[in-house]
Amino acid sequence: MARALLEKGVRTAVIVTLGERGAMIVRRKGDDETVEQSTTDVNDDDDSNHETIMISEPADLPHQALPVVDAVGAGDAFCGALAAYLSRGVKLEQASSMACGVASMSVRKRGAQESYPLAQDLPECLQLDNKQQSSDGEESERRGTITFVTGNKNKLLEVQRLISSDQGKSVPFDLTNAKLDLPELQGSPEEIAREKCKTAANLLQSAVMTEDTSLCFHALNGLPGAYIKWFLDGLGHDGLNKMLQGFDDNRAYAQTIIAFSPGPGKEVHLFDGRTEGRIVPPRGSLDFGWDPIFEPLEEECESGDIDKGNTYAEMTKDDKNKISHRSKSFEKFRHFLATSSGEILKGMNA
């Protein structure tokens, strides 16, 4: 029957479960790598086109001492576990043996779904590690998803651009986004960022990233800072320029604080990026916030190898991203994700 299915065009292998005897993998000869598992036994005597590999569960699992009480749901436990192991890059033979182990736990309890073990209750050798050997021998990594929570579509567009230009330096995380306008406390930019991130993780019950951007005038000791949104809404570009009349210092810095939490109730990490510039009468596209009145300093432009004397709004998005407050904090965040990924993934799953 397994051979007939292969002849009909099954691509990789046919697996037949055999109750207490484990399982059998049948595949075309030469279709896969040599089998090295001690839990397998290759037999190719009976048919020159196919090989049969007998699979048994790993030896010495703690539950094997318990009596078998009910085989209901064992096949589904095997299939579900097999899919989970394969999706993490475990080789077919090893995944099948581990899936036999999970199914053999399920027959030690009554019922179908109630008899399936939870991932955290699996014995060590059946656990899904962060890293598993994939079928080509390379290490494949488990990935996590972080939700970027913002109500601002322009921020999202810039971050998406930063991510897509960052493909060479991959991190084992995917970024999705949720459009939510979260309450922002009063306080320092750090306090506002921390509280907002905590609220987002609790609301979404997941790993989240938020970002808060401030525009800080040197002559005003850092104000409007985190309150720039309200000043911009209330006074507009001209009003923000007028606020500096009477001072001989029009310098300002743009600051982004990215806040990341691996989940509700978990620690919040902050990543700060700043770009120095000056406040000038509006020039360029009016698409995004205070971009038309912020002209980055010459040294900032030199560091990104871009034309000097333009406001953010006069630059291309890519040029802005080379030197922007947002890209600097994002770079720190990306470095954190790359260097602490194992710990973060553990925190996300705990």
Ligand X SMILES: O=P(O)(O)OP(=O)(O)OP(=O)(O)OC[C@H]1O[C@@H](n2cnc3c(O)ncnc32)[C@H](O)[C@@H]1O
Residue nearest to ligand X (CB): 289
Per DSSP, the residues of 88-157 read TT--HHHHHHHHHHHHHHHTTSSSSGGGSPPGGGS-GGGS--SEEE-TTS-EEE--EEEEEEES-HHHHH
Work out how close the CB of 266 gets to ligand X at its nearest, in angstroms, rounded to a whole number.
Answer: 20
Q: Is 154 annotated as a binding residue?
A: yes
Mask 127-166, x = binds ligand X (CB under 6 A)? Answer: -----------------------xxx--x-----------
Identify the H or E element spanning 2. Answer: helix 2-7
Residue 288 marked ligand-binding: yes
Nearest distance from residue 283's CB to ligand X, in Å?
13
Out of 181, 245, 305, 350, the residue judged to bind ligand X by CB under 6 A: 181
Nearer to ligand X, 14 or 268 (CB): 268
Q: Is 155 annotated as a binding residue?
A: yes
CA nearest to 255, candidates 333, 181, 329 = 329
- Using CB under 6 A as the binding rule, whether residue 229 contacts ligand X is answered as yes
Residue 150 is labelled as binding a ligand: yes
Question: Interface residues for ligand X in 263-322 (CB under 6 A)?
Answer: 288-291, 312
- Smallest gap from Cβ 192 to ligand X, in A, equals 8
Buried b (16+ CB within 10 A) or exposed e, 321-349: bbbbbbbbbbeebbebbeeebeebbebbe
Q: Is the dihedral of CA 299, 302, 308, 312 positive or negative?
A: negative
Which member of 93, 212, 295, 300 binds ligand X (CB under 6 A)?
212
Question: Is there a binding annotation on residue 308?
Answer: no
Cβ atoms of 341 and 260 closer than 8 Å: no
**In whole angstroms, what is the distance from residue 119 CA to residue 126 CA?**
9
Work out which of 207, 228, 315, 345 binds ligand X, going by CB under 6 A.
Answer: 228
Q: Which residues are annotated as a binding site for Mg(2+)?
A: 184, 212
Annotated binding-site members for ITP: 150-155, 196, 212-213, 288-291, 320, 325-326
